[in-house]
Amino acid sequence: MRNEERRERLRTALIDAAERTIAAHGLSALKARDLAKEVGCALGAIYTAFPDLDALILAVNLRTLALFDRAIAEVRLAPEPEGPATPAEREAAIDTLVRLAVAYLHFAASNPARWRALFQHRMTGALPDWYLVEQGRLFHAIEAPLRVLRPDLSETERALLARSLFSATHGLVSLGLDEKLMALSERVLRGQIETVVRALGKGLARE
């Protein structure tokens, strides 16, 4: 079917345009009419490719998550020791946690509008599967060093703790970059994140 191909072309063209708009002017600048004008299609055509604008935003967010995945790929490469952890290995695990958090900050600071769109977007119903899968990837990266620091935790407890560490880091980045609380430079913010995450790792480590 030629038809399916055209639909797919429209889909990617729409995602491209939406991504450009969001990256340049933020999520609130995304208008259906502007979008149609930019990709050279009719207003209604958008709704033949996506059920609504939310779905389009979700597609853009998937790309952002993929970008972020590549951004923390090297940090994830850290080798995972086995057996009882030496003090040096514990230090290395804490360093990995810090590097992950700093990588998160750096990504958010480098792609502010794209990153904001991930969270500004108010989910109506349940999130799609692929969204959760992509999220899980990040959490797994956090769980690895946690396994070194806290081998006593069950898999479930560790997963929960990983989510909490992410949430704390997200709070630092989110309120730090938003001028809502106070605008901090990425430099200062990195210092704070290093301090906090390192303290967290130190305090969590089982001695």
Partner DNA sequence: CGGCGTCGTGAACGTTGTTCACGAGCGCAT
Partner DNA sequence: ATGCGCTCGTGAACAACGTTCACGACGCCG
Binding stretches for DNA (CB under 7 A):
2-3, 6-7, 10, 30-33, 41-48, 52-54
Which CB, 11 or 150, lies closer to DNA? 11
Residue 54 binds which entry of DNA, a copy of itself, none, with Cβ cut-offs from 5 to 8 Å by kind?
DNA
Write down the least CB distance from residue 49 to a copy of itself, Å: 25
Stretch that binds a copy of itself, among 6-14, 29-37, 62-70, 196-204 (CB under 8 A): 196-204
206 binds, among DNA, a copy of itself, none (CB under 5 to 8 A by kind): none
Of 8-16, 36-44, 50-58, 186-194, the segment contacting a copy of itself by CB under 8 A is 186-194
Q: Which stretch binds a copy of itself (CB under 8 A): 36-44, 64-72, 140-148, 174-182?
A: 174-182
Q: Is 108 in the site for a copy of itself (CB under 8 A)?
A: no
Cα separation, 28 vs 26, in Å, equals 6
> Which entry of a copy of itself, DNA, none binds 60, CB below 5 to 8 A by partner kind?
none
Q: H/E element holding 166? A: helix 155-177
Taking CB under 8 A as the rule, does residue 185 contact a copy of itself?
A: no
Cα separation, 97 vs 201, whole angstroms? 8
From the list 171, 22, 201, 27, the residue with the least C-alpha distance to 105 is 171
45 contact choice in DNA, a copy of itself, none (CB below 5 to 8 Å, kind-dependent): DNA
Spell out, one character per residue from 31 to 70, where the chain touches a copy of itself: x when CB under 8 A holds, - when not. Answer: ----------------------------------------
Q: HSE of 19 in the Cβ direction (CA atoms, 13 Å)? A: 16
Token pair in block for residue 68: 């972020």
Burial of 162 (0-12, 13-18, 19+ CB in 10 A): buried
Question: Of 138, 146, 157, which is closest to residue 204 (Cα–Cα)?
Answer: 146
Closest CA to 68 of 105, 97, 99, 93: 105
- The continuous run of DSSP H or E covering 187 comes out as helix 186-204
Residue 192 in the binding site for a copy of itself (CB under 8 A): yes
CA quadruple 148, 151, 156, 160: dihedral sign? negative
Binding site for a copy of itself (CB under 8 A): 28, 119, 122-123, 127, 135, 160-161, 163-172, 174-176, 179-182, 188, 192-193, 195-196, 198-204
